[in-house]
Structure 1
Amino acid sequence: MDLIQTRTDQNGVAYLTINRPKSLNSLTRPMMIAMAKAFKAFDADDSVRVVILSGSGPSFCSGVDLTAAEDVFKGDVKDMESDLVYQMEKCRKVIIGAINGFAVTAGFEIALACDILVASKTAKFMDTHARFGIFPSWGLSQKLSRVIGPNRAREVSLTATPITADQAERWGLVNHIVEGNELMKKAQEVAQAIIKNNQDLVLRYKAVINDGLKRDLGHALALEKERAHDYYSGMTKEQFKKMQEFIAGRSSKKPPSKM
């Protein structure tokens, strides 16, 4: 049985499924390496526009398989080619996480590496690093506080208290909550909405948002200006003409004003 399953549909949506349901999709080092390679391949594949990441069975990912903990934690941490979260963050394509059941510790970190999260009502996010004496290395100690605030993040991580789906939505951690049987449908709806847009701009927009989050506001605004200048400087007269024609076409389809 393939523990990591991938496929791409005709619309350009790539699917990566963690497929170890009897172990609640806990990760071994070979699984993590396979996922890292998959995300690197998605990034290089021009036919892939959006990636949906999910787990089979009742759990998204329960973290590292602790029976293989030494192999995972004492692996070559400087090998970025096999670093799953690094490859997710490097992937230019939008990553939608479909979270069903538990996203625990490493699973939580993988969820935080997604760009958009859709969760089932049974989803729970939990950081057990402090409980098991595991030091975070995939960003949980830094990312969570930036999403839900430092006080909430400290309590979640230092007490190992689960975040329910309802809390996750209120705190801005997830974008949508749905019934479990609607999870993939909602993720696909979000993916299709992204695919309808200008794909070059989608890639650039994701990059400027994510890169800007690593900087203070002043430097992030300067980054946006710099990339906008580069983008428009590279456009031809024909591209500007097509943009104007597209906007004019959209405007002509608007319903008449009631005024």
Structure 2
Amino acid sequence: MDRSSPENLILVNREPNGVAIVTINRPDSLNSLTKAMIVDLAHAFKTLDRDESVRVIILTGSGRSFCSGVDLTAAEDVFKGDVKDAETDTVVQMERCRKPIIGAIRGFAVTAGFEIALACDILVAAKGARFLDTHTRFGIFPSWGLSQKLSRIIGVNKAREVSLTATPLTAEVAERLGFVNHVVEDGELLKKSREIADAIVKNNQDMVLRYKSVINDGIKLDLGHALSLEKERGHDYYSGMTKEQFRKMQEFIAGRSSKKQSKL
């Protein structure tokens, strides 16, 4: 089933294998975002999160750019709007989304586009892709997390350089710093993203959701509290399991082990 915004600027395609592909579809403007697109993108993630047939989401852009940021001709409409309205906030809805989000990045991810990339769980970038923070260049205050998230991923000094100089972070350097998971040829971008999605789909869906949640919630805490969070959620999980569920788990593990041995 396909769903798109009325202007077809945000496309949603649900594939039969449990993967949904969300495409920012304004290629003539390098996928720059209007207020309506931001609202539609937030709605797409909120809807896909509730759709139990969807297990993984791939987010990409059409044409030669992922997202060139907010359309500055609509800047006042976007920035003076209610930035605290979580229901229409793309990044908030991405962060609330229980399903893993894979960002497939080609060309430029600029400012708001950079922040949307930061809200993904896994990033695949085409060779030549660039991440650019232009907040300081245009006098825009960050409100989607770039000032806080980037330093926690690539280190404070490198993040300062990227943001204060407004110079691009290349996909290759981003991969070396642990921000991008894979750099591939442009023609392999969606193929690689789908391979990762398929690997996730094959796993226990309940545990995928729980594992994403404990990682993403834990990184907001210091290590001691994060370890306590893991312990607490692990205790709750196992306390809620029945003897039948433990038996099925044991049978599954035993079956996997016997298959491996038969291949030796």
Q: Under TM normalisation by the shorter chain, which class is it? A: over 0.9
Letter in structure 1 aligned against 2:95: E
Counterpart residue number, 1:89: 95
Q: Over aligned residue pairs, what C-alpha RMSD do you find?
A: 1.0
Mapped to 2, the partners of 1:77 and 1:142 lie a distance apart of: 17
Give the alignment's TM-score, normalised by structure 2: 0.96
Q: Which runs of structure 2 are paired with 1:1-259 in the superposition (5 Å)?
A: 1-255=7-261
Where does structure 1 lack aligned partners over 5 or more consecutive residues? none
Mapped to 1, the partners of 2:123 and 2:172 lie a distance apart of: 13
Mapped to 1, the partners of 2:248 and 2:231 lie a distance apart of: 23
CA drift at 1:21: 0.3
Mapped to 1, the partners of 2:204 and 2:215 lie a distance apart of: 16
Mapped to 2, the partners of 1:40 and 1:72 lie a distance apart of: 20
CA drift at 1:253: 1.2
Mapped to 2, the partners of 1:257 and 1:9 lie a distance apart of: 33
CA drift at 1:38: 0.5
CA drift at 1:257: 10
Mapped to 2, the partners of 1:37 and 1:64 lie a distance apart of: 17
Mapped to 1, the partners of 2:219 and 2:180 lie a distance apart of: 17
Give the alignment's TM-score, normalised by structure 1: 0.98
CA drift at 1:256: 6.5
Letter in structure 2 aligned against 1:116: I
Corresponding residue SS for 1:223: helix
Mapped to 1, the partners of 2:104 and 2:208 lie a distance apart of: 20
Mapped to 1, the partners of 2:107 and 2:122 lie a distance apart of: 17
CA drift at 1:255: 3.6
Identical-residue share of aligned pairs (%): 75
Mapped to 2, the partners of 1:152 and 1:255 lie a distance apart of: 47
Where does structure 2 lack aligned partners over 5 or more consecutive residues? 1-6
* Large movers: runs of 4+ above 6 Å: none
> Cα deviations across residues 61-108 of structure 1 (Å, max 9, x unaligned)?
000000000000001112110011000000000000000110000000
Mapped to 2, the partners of 1:56 and 1:7 lie a distance apart of: 13
Mapped to 2, the partners of 1:107 and 1:144 lie a distance apart of: 13
Aligned length: 258
